[in-house]
Amino acid sequence: MGPRLKLFFPLILFAMLAITLFRGLSLDPSEMPSALIDQPFPPFSLPSVNTGKSLSQADIEGQVSLVNVWATWCVACRAEHPYLRQLAQSGIPLIGLNYKDQDADAQRWLEELGDPYRFNIADHDGTLGLDLGVYGAPETYLVDAAGVIRYRHVGVVNEGVWNTILQPLYQELIVHSGAQ
Amino acid sequence: MEYDSSAFISGTDSAQWRTMKSVCLLGAAVVLLFAGPTLGLVETYHFSDPKLEIRYQDLTEELRCPKCQNQNIADSNAPIAQDLRRLLHQQLEDGNSDAEILDHMVARYGEFVRYRPSFDGVSIILWLAPALLLVAALGGLLLALRSKSVANAARGTSLSVDEQARLQSLLNKAEQDS
């Protein structure tokens, strides 16, 4: 390294540091990949919110579906709800996981705001939530036809999230399961 | 004077005294009412064995709250931290080992949930980075020092012919002067 080049060393160091820190600005530390990606949906036996009928992981298998973790105490879930109804109308199978909630509150919510879910699992104590690694509602899991978790989205599902992240993965899984 | 004042208090109208007492009680009740939610945030667990309680303390300090990322589950009041504490208590009472409990948590929340991640996979970089950086820095320092001393030594031994002649003339001049 010549003596003239050596003079540029602080500038180069600064540029590297600036790039690293600038990248840090756009990283979201709360965005963590689920530990259950490519793992089977955890086994459970919980009642349905609407009918009280016992549900298990077998009820989720059979088709590619979205498992949406929601609760009536969750404000963001209310914001998310209209878009979920839209998704359900376009034929996407949605399964609700009513997380740490009261059945009566959940039933009222579904009556007032509409029910986009095929069925709702009542996880009163958050035990299934713990097995899934849920740390806050809303969260949405993409589960394939064999009942394997393929993706977890933390936060509200809206048109942007669906079009850019979830739909491509969903289509891929549909094609994949159709080929088998 | 003191006797007088106490006599004054005991001598006051008993109805007034009772009002004051009930106001105090009401105040205390109000304070307790608002203290309720804060007291309820840290739940206490009963352990069948004091050893379990010590392990519980250690593990709640090692496990990280997934929601409030810079707190461990002992410090956090987030609902998820409460759930994890309950799960931890239950698993300790079930007789699981520390390793089994940590594996159970990691299987659900990822390596992130531990403040001391395991020594494998991606986290090996975390463990080795400080030592590697130290070695690199020391190496760099050593290299810089050596090249400097080599340069100094090289400059010291070899005077050019002109320099040698100039030195000689200076020495001669000094001799003549003295």
pLDDT, tens digit, 9 for 90 and up, residues B50-71? 999 999 999 999 999 988 888 9
Give yes or no: residues B157 and B97 share one domain. no
Domain ranges for chain A:
30-179
Mean local confidence (pLDDT), A28-39: 82
- Give the contacts of A172 (CB within 8 A, at least 6 positions apart): none
Give yes or no: residues B93 and B74 share one domain. yes
Q: Residue A26 has what pLDDT? A: 83
- Give CA angle at A125 (A54, A114), nearest 5°: 65
| Residue B118, in any domain of the structure | no
ipTM score: 0.78
Count of CB contacts below 8 A, A vs B? 36
- Owner of token pair 């690199």: B136
Domain A30-179: homologous superfamily in CATH: Glutaredoxin (3.40.30.10)
Q: Which of A127, A135, A154 to mutate to test the interface with B (most CBs of B within 10 A)?
A: A135
Rounded Cα gap, residues B126 and B116, in angstroms:
10
Give yes or no: residues B48 and B8 share one domain. no
Condensed to tens digits (0 to 9), the pLDDT of residues B142-176 reads 999 998 888 777 766 677 788 889 999 999 999 88
* Mean pLDDT, chain A, integer: 91
Q: Residue B1 has what pLDDT? A: 43
Looking at the predicted structure, is the pLDDT value of residue B40 above 70?
Answer: no
> How distant is the Cα of B35 from the closest Cα of chain A, in angstroms?
23
Give yes or no: residues B71 and B102 share one domain. yes
- Which residue of chain A comes nearest to B110, CA vs CA? A35
Residues spanned by the domain of B16: 2-40
* Full-model pTM: 0.71
- With beta carbons under 8 A apart, name residues in chain A contacting B79: 100, 126
Is residue A2 packed enough to be buried (19+ CB in 10 Å), middle (13-18) or exposed (0-12)?
exposed
Q: Give the bridge partners for A131, in sequence order.
A: none
Give yes or no: residues B131 and B167 share one domain. yes
What phi and psi values does residue A82 have, to the nearest 5 degrees?
-55, -40
For chain A, give the number of residues.
180
H helices of B78-122, where?
A: 79-93, 98-109
Q: Residue B172 has what pLDDT? A: 92
- With beta carbons under 8 A apart, name residues in chain A contacting B80: 134-136
Mean local confidence (pLDDT), B106-123: 85
- Owner of token pair 């990283």: A27
Q: Which region among A128-142, B10-24, B42-56, B152-166 has the lowest average model confidence (pLDDT)?
A: B10-24
Strand pairing class (A120-123; A94-99)? parallel
